[in-house]
Amino acid sequence: MTEDPLLCFFLLCFHGCQPSFSGFCSGGVCSGVAISYPFWMMDDGSNTNGSTQNAYCGYQEFSLSGAPSNDTFLVLALPNDNYYVKHIDYASKSDDVNITFYFNCSIDGVYERLAVSPIPCLGQYMGKPSYGFLEGKEPVEFDWAGKCEDIVVATAGETEMTESDLINQFTRAMNAGFILDWDMWKECGRCESRGGQCGFNNRTKESLCFCDDGSIHPNNSSGTYCKGTDSMNIEN
């Protein structure tokens, strides 16, 4: 499993963590990155004796950890790979743009008619060039999906890319990092709409709702969420 060098996050919908929340929801700074809800930092001792920290405040898939071989970056584990986290922006509404890459295309003698330039640094594999376009800007007269061996879509900041110089700007845009957006987790809607923040109890495998008065409630259909009476205690 490889680790891509950089990963930036930009926010679609976010509710910041307040100081009055339970200690499980306290934020912090690690490797120069501010960490707060819905992200959470895995306890450095969480793997001791095969156990894990009992509870955390945040989305279950949004855990961050230190890179084993590089203390400079945090790591986010996604289903297919691990990624370094360069920055988390909790307020940005910046737009991003998709770049579609078509690799090893059989151009069938229509190169001149396409009036587009292949990616020079990739050269040609078996006489098959590769191309890159801003999403939706491909010449429509060519069957890209049918004539190219592989198609990859990457996301970059819109300010990093212009259509007139796309290929030359690609390296700079990728060095700036990929941009991921996140939105409210559907299962957290009732908790967050009542001023709470979602979390999870690893010991009981129970979804939780942390409230700004320090109380903790079950995050399920029978829970009263925040401002209710069915609070619970969690052992650290």
Res. 27: pLDDT tops 70: yes
Q: Residue 103: its pLDDT value, please?
A: 92
Cβ contacts of 59 within 8 Å, gap of 6 or more: 38, 39, 185, 188, 198
- 82 and 186 inside one domain: yes
- Helix and strand numbers, DSSP H then E, in the chain: 4, 17
- 42 and 16 inside one domain: yes
**Domain that residue 146 falls in:** 96-176
Q: Residue 148: its pLDDT value, please?
A: 92
**Residues making up the chain, counted from first to last:** 236
- 82 and 190 inside one domain: yes
- 72 and 145 inside one domain: no
Residue 226 lies in a domain: no
Judging by DSSP bridges, how do beta strands 87-89 and 96-105 pair with one another? unpaired
Residue 103: CB atoms within 10 Å: 17
Cβ contacts of 166 within 8 Å, gap of 6 or more: 99, 132, 133, 134
pTM of the model: 0.54
Residue 224 lies in a domain: no
pLDDT tens-digit profile of 52-92? 457 788 887 888 887 666 566 788 887 777 777 877 877 66
Distance CA 58, CA 65 (A): 14
Residue 223 lies in a domain: no
pLDDT tens-digit profile of 196-233? 888 888 788 888 888 888 888 888 766 566 765 444 45
Q: Residue 1: its pLDDT value, please?
A: 38
Residue 75 lies in a domain: yes
pLDDT tens-digit profile of 161-196? 666 666 667 667 666 666 666 666 677 888 888 888
- 131 and 205 inside one domain: no
Residue 227 lies in a domain: no
Res. 150: pLDDT tops 80: yes
- 155 and 171 inside one domain: yes
Residue 192 lies in a domain: yes
- 22 and 59 inside one domain: yes
CB 92 within 8 A of CB 10: yes
Give the 3-state secondary structure of residue 166: helix
- 44 and 151 inside one domain: no
- 71 and 188 inside one domain: yes
Q: Residue 48: its pLDDT value, please?
A: 30
- 164 and 186 inside one domain: no
- 108 and 52 inside one domain: no
Residue 40 lies in a domain: yes
Structural domain total, the chain = 2
- 193 and 161 inside one domain: no
Which of 148 and 28 is assigned the larger pLDDT? 148
Which of 158 and 98 is assigned the larger pLDDT? 98
Residue 214 lies in a domain: yes
Mean pLDDT value of segment 94-108:
79
pLDDT tens-digit profile of 126-141? 778 888 888 888 888 7
